Amino acid sequence: MAQIEGKVAIITGAASGIGRACAIVLAREGACVVATDVDSKGLRDTEKLVSDAGGKIVTLTQDVTDEAVWEEVFTEATETFGTPSVLVNNAGIAIAGGITDFTLDDWRRQMAVNVDSVFLGTRAAMNAMSSGGSIINISSVAGLRGAAGASAYCTSKGAVRLFTKAAAVECAQMGTGIRVNSVHPGIIDTPIWQKSITRMTEVMDEERISALTAHSGANQMDVEAIASQSSPMGRAGRPEEVAELVLFLASDASSYISGQEHVVDGAMTAR
């Protein structure tokens, strides 16, 4: 039997990368998936991948920083499939930049997408999940340690880690039956690397950029080169490897696990 047969899962940031992989894996294991993102084209591609594999999915365009839209997403999920019992707060952005050069607008944008959305999603899930459930917040190894040129990103992901713990304790003490956990990917081969390349060039010298980018004029990050230098396993992770952990946390197999951070980084933070 599929591991999460009949569960209804909402996944944000599902147009690509880890979010798309979560949609595919959770649908494969029997969940009815509600996939959201601001990228409509990417969502259509995710929908096709899930549908072609026989999974159940609907897609919704969502700005995760818009408070009112969260209620609409949960209402749509409930009317289409039934009461949601899984929420994967995956949507996120990475804005690189040195602290002295970072703008307040960029700082606030980073926090809005990476932190505010997790609060809004978690609150909506706590109000909607009437018979328990699992909230999975995608953080990062950047939420466990600092990195030059990524102060805002590290701060946002560290906030997700501690918010997760506080929410888990609150849910447990309220007797909601809702579990809340965070997942901390390391270097995973996803589009977020390419989206942040422009800002990364502002905080790295040319020699460092050359070592970490492909031979196409530094227009694309060579994620494998970064991973070979940073991960003891010597390779980048795959989105599916994160999604399989999300599947475990969404399933009843993790029924006594809550308030914990789960690291997927090829032993990068083990040293």
Three-state DSSP class for 183? strand
Minimal CA–CA distance to 185: which of 125, 233, 139, 117?
139
Q: Are the C-beta atoms of 214 and 227 separated by less than 8 Å?
A: no
Active-site residue among 74, 81, 102, 153? 153
Tell me how crowded residue 1 is: count the other CB atoms within 10 A of its CB.
6
How does DSSP assign 15-28, residue by residue? TSHHHHHHHHHHHH
Residues comprising the chain, all counted: 271
Tell me how crowded residue 191 is: count the other CB atoms within 10 A of its CB.
15
Helix count (H) and strand count (E) of the chain? 11, 7
Cα separation, 184 vs 264, whole angstroms = 6
Three-state DSSP class for 136? strand
Q: Are the C-beta atoms of 14 and 58 separated by less than 8 Å?
A: no
Instruction: Answer yes or no: 256 catalytic.
Output: no
Q: How far is CA 94 from CA 133, 195, 245, in A?
A: 29, 8, 22
Positions annotated as catalytic residues are: 153
